[in-house]
Amino acid sequence: MTTECTDLSGPLPTSSVMAPEAGSTAAPALKDRLRDILDDHEALLGLYRDLAVLRRIDEQCLALARQGALALWAPIVGQEAVLVGAARAADRHDHLFISYRESLMAHLRGVPPEQVLPMWRGSALGGWDPAEYGITNPAIIVGAHGLHATGYAMAAALDGSQDRAIAFFGDGATSQGDLNEALNFAATTTAPVVFFCTNNQFAISVPIAQQTAVQPAQRAHGFGIPSLRVDGNDVLAVLAATRTATAHVQAGGGPYFVEAVTYRLGPHTTNDDPTRYRSAAELEAWRARDPVERMRGFLADSGLITESDADVVRSAADDAAQRYRTACAELPEPDAAGIFEHVYAAPHPLIVEERHAYADYLASLGGAAATAVPAGPSTGKEVPR
């Protein structure tokens, strides 16, 4: 069990590794977790590159959604340090259970753009094989994947595996029954699972102050789960906190809870208008704490980034964005009848009946719709679209 585990009483400080900003404090214990990183110029530059690449991909996907090429997008602008820090701290034994705003963590795990985008375009219900990359497809039901992560971790422990689970969710999910059930299951079974809360200040339009009377990290204490609260705009703090949590879990200490305090600079999704529920002054105050620029400033102050380095990073970001745009343009149009594929592993009489009824409906429309009618019932073995 790690020495950083917090006393289960009272509010927690918001810990930083970089120069502390408003509301955060320096945390030497976290810094101790980063000795290999802080002495490695390439590793630090790599973190900045990851931040910049995710920022650029996010901008491209937002543009694709505005242009109608994607049906929806959940922007991550302002929260990149959470995705990068946690993903880079996790190893091959950490299976990541993500929600919709962590979709681009898949990019950090090597999932190609053509497998990241289908769900957002509406051309498939998923994208990649979770077992291949160690990361699930995004969960849409808020908080439900906390139970999935806990079940996976419990099974891993029963199998004697070294595998662990990390469940990523927003502050709003801490008010969902599923997540609270997951916390209780994990605590009572000492499951090797990390609960990672990205507190971006809003559950869609509801501010954190109206969701909970205490910090999300404190809520874990009611289940007997130790927790840590970090500056979510400090990629080094997030990385160190994730290392702390996974070390605790790996040592057999049971579940651990991390709260990363950050801010969603963009809308909840491309269907949202955030000007209706937050002020321009609040937005600008958080924009000044931009995690990408903060890391760049840290490197510049330390003399660890040159203009040539910055050019290489910009080029990598632009190349990644172009790959996403190209992949999006090459995705097939959604097949209306495809909704019945991959529902069950084997044919199911109810699905067969519903599929035929829907095929008759499509045929009645004529034209292009009729061409989407499948030749026969689902076998459960179709190639994913």
Same domain, 188 and 272: yes
Give the bridge partners for 24, in sequence order: 14
**57: nearest Cα among 329, 327, 331, 323:** 323
Same domain, 89 and 165: yes
End-to-end CA distance of the chain: 44
- What are the phi and psi torsion angles at 267 (to 5°)? -75, 165
Provide the domain limits for residue 383.
335-385
Single-letter amino acid code for the residue at 174: T
Same domain, 43 and 182: yes
Residue 19 in domain: yes
> What are the start-end ranges of the H helices in the chain?
28-32, 35-38, 41-66, 80-89, 105-108, 113-116, 118-121, 130-133, 145-159, 177-189, 216-219, 235-250, 280-287, 291-301, 307-330, 349-365, 367-370
Number of domains the chain is built from: 2
Same domain, 95 and 77: yes
Residue 385 in domain: yes
Q: What is the pLDDT of residue 382?
A: 34
Query: What is d(CA 8, CA 348) in angstroms, rounded to the nearest whole number?
Result: 49
Q: What is the pLDDT of residue 384?
A: 31
Same domain, 301 and 248: yes
Question: Is 259 in a helix, a strand, or coil?
Answer: strand
Question: Is 26 in a helix, a strand, or coil?
Answer: strand
Query: What is d(CA 350, CA 355) in angstroms, rounded to the nearest whole number?
Result: 8
Residue 370 in domain: yes
Same domain, 257 and 153: yes
Q: How do the pLDDT tens digits run along the chain, 385 residues long?
A: 444 544 556 799 999 999 988 889 999 999 999 999 999 999 999 999 999 999 999 999 999 999 999 999 999 999 999 999 999 999 999 999 999 999 999 999 999 999 999 999 988 878 899 999 999 999 999 999 999 999 999 999 999 999 999 999 999 999 999 999 999 999 999 999 999 999 999 999 999 999 999 999 999 999 999 999 999 999 999 999 999 999 999 999 999 999 999 999 999 999 999 999 999 999 999 999 999 999 999 999 999 999 999 999 999 999 999 999 999 999 988 778 888 887 888 889 999 999 999 999 989 987 555 444 443 333 333 333 2
Q: Which burial class, exposed, middle or buried, applies to 247 when counting CB atoms under 10 A from its CB (0-12, 13-18, 19+)?
A: middle
Q: What is the pLDDT of residue 367?
A: 57
Question: Is 116 in a helix, a strand, or coil?
Answer: helix
Match 């760049």 to its residue by tokens. Answer: 296
Tell me which residues are annotated as active site.
264, 268, 277
Residue 4 in domain: no
Same domain, 41 and 19: yes
Among the candidates 290, 309, 330, a domain finishes at 330
Query: What is d(CA 321, CA 330) in angstroms, rounded to the nearest whole number?
Result: 14
Same domain, 383 and 317: no
Query: What is d(CA 306, CA 315) in angstroms, rounded to the nearest whole number?
Result: 14
Starting from the edge strand earliest in sequence, which strands make up the sheet with 164-170, in order? 24-26, 14-16, 227-231, 256-261, 193-199, 164-170, 94-97
Torsion of CA 287, 110, 252, 139, to 10 degrees: 70
Residue 6 in domain: no
Same domain, 250 and 361: no
For position 257, which CATH number holds? Answer: 3.40.50.970
Residue 295 in domain: yes
Residue 236 in domain: yes
Same domain, 30 and 67: yes
Q: What is the pLDDT of residue 123?
A: 85
Residue 2 in domain: no
Same domain, 91 and 169: yes
Single-letter amino acid code for the residue at 42: E
Query: What is d(CA 147, CA 169) in angstroms, rounded to the nearest whole number?
Result: 12
Query: What is d(CA 43, CA 41) in angstroms, rounded to the nearest whole number?
Result: 6
**58: nearest Cα among 84, 92, 85:** 84
Beta strand pairing status for 14-16 and 256-261? Answer: unpaired
Same domain, 349 and 247: no
Q: What is the pLDDT of residue 10?
A: 77
